[in-house]
Amino acid sequence: MKVISSGDLAYIPSQVTLINFDKHGTINKATMTNEPSIVLVTSVDDDKGYEIIYGGCQWYVTERSIYPIDTNELKESKRNVSNFNRSM
């Protein structure tokens, strides 16, 4: 299993199916991502997958369709962009 925990940011590519369950655990609705996105993981369920926030709603995504993000790498990337803008 990938090392993604509740509270982590994660990456999901485009064309990934997201599922929503009702209170009985039955699939309630599904959607597909139109573009790659960074999402917040709200919980991890061994049976349902990763619960995420996407488009302001809670969805589940399978383990094979979600990837961990190194937040230190994001900070470094932001720092490099900021330095680039100042040099122009």
In the chain, where the domains are located: 9-87
**pLDDT band per the 50, 70, 90 thresholds, residue 81:** low
pLDDT of residue 10: 96
Closest to 71 (Cα-Cα) out of 40, 36, 44, 33:
40
Q: Is the pLDDT of residue 78 over 80?
A: no
For 5-63, write each residue's pLDDT tens digit. 999 999 999 999 999 999 998 999 999 999 999 999 999 999 999 999 999 999 999 99
How far apart, in whole angstroms, are the C-alpha atoms of residue 30 and residue 9?
Answer: 21
What is the dotted CATH code of the domain comprising 9-87?
2.30.30
Tokens at 47, concatenated: 């049976």
Q: Is the pLDDT of residue 82 over 90?
A: no
The answer to whether the beta carbons of residues 39 and 31 sit under 8 Å apart is no
Other Cβ atoms closer than 10 A to 52: 23
Tokens at 51, concatenated: 């619960």
Q: Is the pLDDT of residue 83 over 70?
A: no
pLDDT of residue 3: 86
- pTM of the predicted model as reported, rounded to 2 decimal places: 0.78
